[in-house]
Structure 1
Amino acid sequence: MKRVLISDKLDESCVTLLKEKGFEVDYKAGLSKDDLLSIIKNYNILLVRSATKVTEEVINAASKLEIIGRAGTGVDNVDIKAANRKGIIVMNTPGGNTTSAAEHTVALMLSMCRMIPQANRSLVEGRWDRKLYSGTEFSGKTLGVIGLGKIGREVALLAKGLRMNVIGYDPVLSKEYADEIGVELFSLDDIYKNSDFISLHVPLTPATENMISKNELAKCKDGVKIINCARGGIVNEPDLLEGLNSGKVSSAAFDVFTEEPPTNYDLIKHPNFIATPHLGATTEEAQIRVAIQVVNQIADYYSGSEVMGIVNSSSLTYANNPFIKPFVELSEKIGLIQSQLIEKSSNKITVQVNGKKIIKYSDLFVAGVLKGLLENISEEPVNIVNSKVIADEKGIKVDVITSSENSYYANSITVSIELNNSKKVVTGTVLDESLRIVRIDGFNLEFKPEGNLLIYNNLDKPGVLSKVSSVLSSNNINIAGLTLGRTGLGKEAITVISCDEEIDNKTIESVAKLQFVENVMVVRL
């Protein structure tokens, strides 16, 4: 009989259902770190919410642990890498709190429009300040939804029910699927320019950290309203406070903060700011739903049934195959590169797998490509297991081509993404267990997909590279390596420069202004 430890507060239905399914259960919510470390060795399964921090130390002490179940979406409190090394399955409950989080978003939006918390506080304090709290209607206003995953789509549907005009940004959601849910896709800049309200529903990643700061706020309408029920750190809080003080932002409502619980209350105390203490998933229904869902997923796993919500099983499926593992990593890298090279939603993705030894694993490589393509923009963790499901939900379709022959390399993976009037093609291979990108848009080259990469097209003329190098040097950016692909002397070429430091927007703009240089892009791997 498998033993389960529940170390956070979960609905009692979780305990009841576990026992009905034949598990031995110990409910010990509120364990200290030392207490958890002393007893975790006795359990096969650990169930948590967000309070328990499942660190590498905890995982290393868990000699029998097979599954870590998170009753919720985010797994920030679980050391995934440590779990991978121990071969421990990590599960979450995708979609279990979608309705609650979306409804909380809309509740905050309505509260902003009618200044409900402020008016309530005034009345509690004995004042009757009707004239101070004149609100605004949301019907007919434009809501910009940044991130159209499950929660973002639900917010869009609720807003449309309130007769709002909904526009959205999601770099991988297909136009066809967006049309189905009645959302017009815009670029980020156009979201900022056209939205009366902006609601954020993206994960916190290096790409989304501070994605709305002073520069982005300057692009917004005067009096814009901003809602963040996703993750703290997506909006730069000091810049938001400055925007509230100046009136550029008329009001804002946050359920999440860069530091939780917050220590800087200047923003929270602002008269036009509404704050809740991370309550998005805190409803009776959501807690029951995620409790039942995580139990059913665990039971499905042990019965051999198809299991949803596994965050890290990809590492368990190919870790013991030394030949295939590098190609799976390569497929993820190509997807991650493509996600940063394309500027808008794709109409068609094609994955071509060449080579006798790898074509039978093409489905695995497709999952890897989608993982790389989605991981920086999905609001839930993406891996080899769930990447296809998330892609399908976003309306992303992939064509697969396989061939046992390859005129250049014994085994290779090529990913083509077609946009309206162009195509972006990246090919990679594995040489002596080392990942290599060997072709981009018809240019033959070779580089390792790692670190900070500056990629641009140029005419192959003397002095171009030295000018680019000068720009990098003047911005204290060291060149670690470079590769060049060209069609001929003086003709179009592509240059990839690997840099030791991060490449900021100022540097990108300076390089883009150089003569004979165009299509300047930065890829972070």
Structure 2
Amino acid sequence: MTAQDSSRPGILMLGIVHHPKPEFEKLSEVADVRQVTSGTREEFIRDCDAGKYNNVVAISRTYDSVAITGRFDAELVSHLPSSVKFLSHNGAGYDQIDVKPCTERNIAVSNTPSAVDAATANTAVFLMLGALRRAWIPQLAVREGKWRGESPLGRDPDGLTLGILGMGGIGTATAKRATAFGFRLQYHNRKPVDGLETQFGGQNVPTYVGFEELLRTSDVISVHLPLGPATKGLIGAKELGTMKDGVIIVNTARGPIIDEAALVSSLESGKVWSVGLDVFEKEPEIHPGLLKHPGAVLLPHIGTATVDTQRRMEILVIDNVRSAVTKGKFLTQVSEQKLLTAKV
């Protein structure tokens, strides 16, 4: 990037920009841009304490940059220079950032919510249809030269009740796609979502239900919640026990929302007929019970892994940083922080 000029605001990029390189280069028009693509948490903290980043106003970080800095927790935030006012995260989920200490330091946090909706919803539907057919069994059989092998009969989605757990952008996009397959739709959220009647054109509008009712009455449950203290371990043995016999569970949100050991037990007992998972409790580690179970359709956290979506996400991060430096505010500040800000 350009030579450093302490009279200009600084932007620190943590991680690699893969797609919109010209857009990234243009940030040098409004600020001094520095980039860190390797190192350790200890080195980053030492550099912060030594004043290396004292002109940095905005930090932009990729999901993978956690390998460089570790989680942006209270300890790390305490070492950031006082000049830092903005932290732009590349991802809809921002559990790698502890928002509370950022807010207490008056550091705004942004994410990339809308940019990931379509790709993640497409992945959820892919896993949903795969789980309905227990698709891993015939896929494995044909690769082993056994044609259909012992493939069981699957289920049709027509007339089944799909419970969307978390009706944000991704949950809504998943519900819209699911209407084409004949699902009856219901959802649970912290509160009912306004405007669904209009969004769904008055046809097959998802019904709001309580958490326990969704668990008890859904044939398929698709998880679209953010990970936080209130949602970690939200679905455990007790919750699985209240579900319908033969329920199908899909998770494209965050693995720790579901107790993986309890999920495996429910699969092995037949309580859960099949699962479609893109995320795992201790990823990249996956519970061996999932790996060997024929009713598990598994993907390695690739919900947003398309060129198109990755580019949209990176551009939104760049736009957020540009807006922060030139206008003093983010385009997509996290909603949680707005709640915290009111309490500080």
Q: Which bin holds the TM-score, normalised by the shorter protein? A: 0.7 to 0.9
Q: Which amino acid aligns with 1:183?
A: P
Give the alignment of 1:199-218 within 5 angstroms: 199-218=222-241
1:293 aligns with 2:316: yes
Q: List gaps (5 residues or longer) in structure 2.
A: 1-7
In the alignment, the residues of structure 2 paired with residue 128 and residue 202 of structure 1 have an alpha-carbon distance, to the nearest angstrom, of 38
Q: Which amino acid aligns with 1:177?
A: G
TM-score by length of 1: 0.55
1:94 aligns with 2:113: yes
Q: Which amino acid aligns with 2:62?
A: R
1:153 aligns with 2:166: no
Q: Which amino acid aligns with 1:70?
A: H
Q: Which amino acid aligns with 1:237?
A: E
In the alignment, the residues of structure 2 paired with residue 19 and residue 120 of structure 1 have an alpha-carbon distance, to the nearest angstrom, of 45
1:110 aligns with 2:129: yes
In the alignment, the residues of structure 2 paired with residue 214 and residue 129 of structure 1 have an alpha-carbon distance, to the nearest angstrom, of 33
Q: Which amino acid aligns with 2:147?
A: W
1:382 aligns with 2:343: no
- What's the CA shift for 1:166? 1.1
- Tell me which residue corresponds to 1:242: 265
CA contact (8 A) 2:73 2:97 kept: yes
Greater than 4 Å deviation, 4+ residue runs: none
Deviations 1:80-131 (A, max 9, x none): 3443344333222222211111111111111112333332222223322355
Which structure carries more helix by proportion?
2
In the alignment, the residues of structure 2 paired with residue 189 and residue 95 of structure 1 have an alpha-carbon distance, to the nearest angstrom, of 28
Change (3 A) 1:30 1:274: farther
Q: Which amino acid aligns with 2:210?
A: S
- Tell me which residue corresponds to 1:168: 187
- Tell me which residue corresponds to 1:307: 330
In the alignment, the residues of structure 2 paired with residue 306 and residue 4 of structure 1 have an alpha-carbon distance, to the nearest angstrom, of 14
1:16 aligns with 2:22: yes
Q: Which amino acid aligns with 1:36?
A: F
- What's the CA shift for 1:173? 1.3
Give the alignment of 1:320-339 within 5 angstroms: none
Change (3 A) 1:173 1:308: farther
Q: Which amino acid aligns with 2:12?
A: L
Tell me which of 69, 86, 89 is aligned to 1:70.
89
SS in 2 for 1:286: helix
In the alignment, the residues of structure 2 paired with residue 306 and residue 59 of structure 1 have an alpha-carbon distance, to the nearest angstrom, of 19
CA contact (8 A) 1:109 1:227 kept: yes
Tell me which of 4, 8, 28 is aligned to 2:11.
4
Identify the range of structure 1 (152-161 vs 133-142) with the bigger mean alpha-carbon deviation: 133-142
Change (3 A) 1:57 1:228: same
Larger Rg: 1
Q: Percent identity?
A: 26
- Tell me which residue corresponds to 1:31: 39
- What's the CA shift for 1:193? 3.0
CA contact (8 A) 1:213 1:235 kept: yes
Q: List gaps (5 residues or longer) in structure 1.
A: 312-380, 388-525
Give the alignment of 1:480-519 within 5 angstroms: none
CA contact (8 A) 1:112 1:274 kept: yes
Which structure carries more strand by proportion?
1
SS in 2 for 1:168: strand
In the alignment, the residues of structure 1 paired with residue 75 and residue 213 of structure 2 have an alpha-carbon distance, to the nearest angstrom, of 46
In the alignment, the residues of structure 1 paired with residue 26 and residue 62 of structure 2 have an alpha-carbon distance, to the nearest angstrom, of 21
CA contact (8 A) 2:99 2:337 kept: no
Tell me which of 272, 291, 294 is aligned to 2:295.
272
SS in 1 for 2:151: helix
In the alignment, the residues of structure 2 paired with residue 4 and residue 303 of structure 1 have an alpha-carbon distance, to the nearest angstrom, of 12
- Tell me which residue corresponds to 1:281: 304
Change (3 A) 1:386 1:286: farther
Q: RMSD over aligned Cα, in angstroms? A: 2.9
- Tell me which residue corresponds to 1:83: 102
Number of aligned residue pairs: give it. Answer: 319
In the alignment, the residues of structure 2 paired with residue 158 and residue 137 of structure 1 have an alpha-carbon distance, to the nearest angstrom, of 15
